[in-house]
Structure 1
Amino acid sequence: MSKGTETRNRIIAKAAPLFNRKGYEGCSMQDIVEAVGLEKGSLYGHFPNKEALAVAAFQYAWNETSRARMAKMDTIANAIEKLKIHVANVVSLPSFAGGCPLLNTITDNDDGNPALKKMAREALKEWRLYLQSILQDGQDRKEIRGGVDPEEVATLMISLLEGAMALDRVDRRSGFLERAGRHLNSHLDTLAFQAQSRNFE
């Protein structure tokens, strides 16, 4: 890896938590200069403008978040159990510094920066399609009953988890995310192919 690439990666890693905590408008290039320890001119040598750096920072933050949420999922073959691990990861693992980058970016850029809004939309789609693929594979292997709509379940999971995260930020003592996780685990059990079989016994 070249020195220039190392410097660029260091800038992104330092900038990502700042943008995630402060938002696009709240985070200045001077904040990043102070965090990275470089002159402002050096930053612009790697990124043409603040927007380009913010986009790279979001991608970094989301990649780190996604990697944590997918931890240990590849150790389980069964689709239901795989999704339960995913739920447990989202509920129990520490968030990226400043909270979920997807939630923060959607909230911060609803009527704000269009490039970041587009990145958030793509990240959301990527997450939904990932969950859908697990559900579809589970149906193909007869682990999940055929009447289940993978897109609907994936959308429900994301909505509950992200919504609960938002509520926990308002009142951490209420444990919205933990409750959402328990509800999703119970719901996932009802999707199992065996549950359908027992209805005919």
Structure 2
Amino acid sequence: MSGKAERTTQFIIETVAPIFNKHGYIGTSMSQLTQATGLTKGAIYGNFENKLALALAAFEYNSQLLLSELDRVSNDDPKAVNQLFGLLHFYRHYDAFTMPMGGCPLVNVGVDAQNNNSELAKAAKQTVKEIETRIAGILDRGVKGNEFHILLPPLQFAKQFFTILQGGVVMATLTRDRKYLINTVSYLEHLTKKELRMTS
């Protein structure tokens, strides 16, 4: 693929990613995509096999933006406990971060795709697993580094941690009231301090 073709493909993905995220796979029309990109249907499908391939690429783009940011905020400090609270601080402003995407890609695509596109649903589920694995990794490093102790296995704690966190995202999205997210993060900060038995 030539450099120009690669740039065109990337331009299409970046342009349509928030549209698919906001309107869903079924709800996104080709006219929306052509209008947003300024390209013809033929030009778009000259870069992607079909609408599904484009939707998957769009979700992958948003997913990688999210995962990269989670890596960035959790790697700012060498101590695992600070990495964990760095994640919580990020989620306190999660709605602002995902606004350019058209909202949370896990909520929007994950829920929308459950009944109309198994491949997109699978991709969203995989991203959830990747986030849970990242959180579990932080917890595991904290335990091995003797920063804290937890009563549950790291992955189990991570799943519960992320379930509560993502629940706050869902409620804030449904009600358009970010207090649900803020209060959830505050509760998790309190719960985490209580559950992590600090050793120093």
State if a TM-score over 0.5 links the two structures. yes
The unaligned stretches of length 5 or more in structure 1 are none
Secondary structure at the aligned position of 2:148 is classed as coil
Aligned pairs (5 A) from 1:44-55: 44-55=45-56
How far is the alpha carbon of 1:72 from its aligned partner? 3.2
Distance across 1 between alignment mates of 2:85 and 2:105: 22
How far is the alpha carbon of 1:77 from its aligned partner? 1.5
Per mean C-alpha deviation after superposition, the further-off stretch among 171-180 and 118-127 is 171-180
Match of 2:190 in 1: 186
How far is the alpha carbon of 1:190 from its aligned partner? 2.3
Match of 1:145 in 2: 149
How far is the alpha carbon of 1:90 from its aligned partner? 1.6
Check the 8 A contact 1:73/1:85 in 2, yes or no: yes
How far is the alpha carbon of 1:185 from its aligned partner? 1.0
1:6-49 deviation per Cα after TM superposition (whole angstroms, max 9, x unaligned)? 00000000110000000000001221111011111011111010
| Aligned-CA RMSD value | 1.7
Aligned pairs (5 A) from 1:142-181: 142-145=146-149, 147-173=151-177, 175-181=179-185
Check the 8 A contact 2:150/2:195 in 1, yes or no: no
The question of 1:95 aligning with 2:97 is answered yes
Identity %: 29
How many pairs were matched up?
196
How far is the alpha carbon of 1:181 from its aligned partner? 0.5
Match of 1:4 in 2: 5
Check the 8 A contact 2:81/2:142 in 1, yes or no: yes
Check the 8 A contact 1:148/1:191 in 2, yes or no: no
Q: Which amino acid is 1:157 matched to?
A: F
Match of 2:82 in 1: 81
The question of 1:116 aligning with 2:117 is answered no
Distance across 1 between alignment mates of 2:72 and 2:89: 10
Distance across 2 between alignment mates of 1:75 and 1:164: 24
Distance across 2 between alignment mates of 1:113 and 1:15: 18
Secondary structure at the aligned position of 1:130 is classed as helix
Indicate how the Cα distance of structure 1 residues 25 and 71 shifts in structure 2: closer, same or farther if over 3 A, else same.
same
1:132-161 deviation per Cα after TM superposition (whole angstroms, max 9, x unaligned)? 111111111011215332112211221112
1:151-188 deviation per Cα after TM superposition (whole angstroms, max 9, x unaligned)? 12211221112111111123234611111111111122
Indicate how the Cα distance of structure 1 residues 121 and 67 shifts in structure 2: closer, same or farther if over 3 A, else same.
same
The unaligned stretches of length 5 or more in structure 2 are none
The question of 1:40 aligning with 2:41 is answered yes
Per mean C-alpha deviation after superposition, the further-off stretch among 168-177 and 106-115 is 168-177
Distance across 2 between alignment mates of 1:26 and 1:162: 24
Distance across 2 between alignment mates of 1:174 and 1:47: 37
How far is the alpha carbon of 1:95 from its aligned partner? 3.3
Distance across 2 between alignment mates of 1:43 and 1:175: 40
Check the 8 A contact 1:80/1:189 in 2, yes or no: no
Check the 8 A contact 2:74/2:83 in 1, yes or no: yes
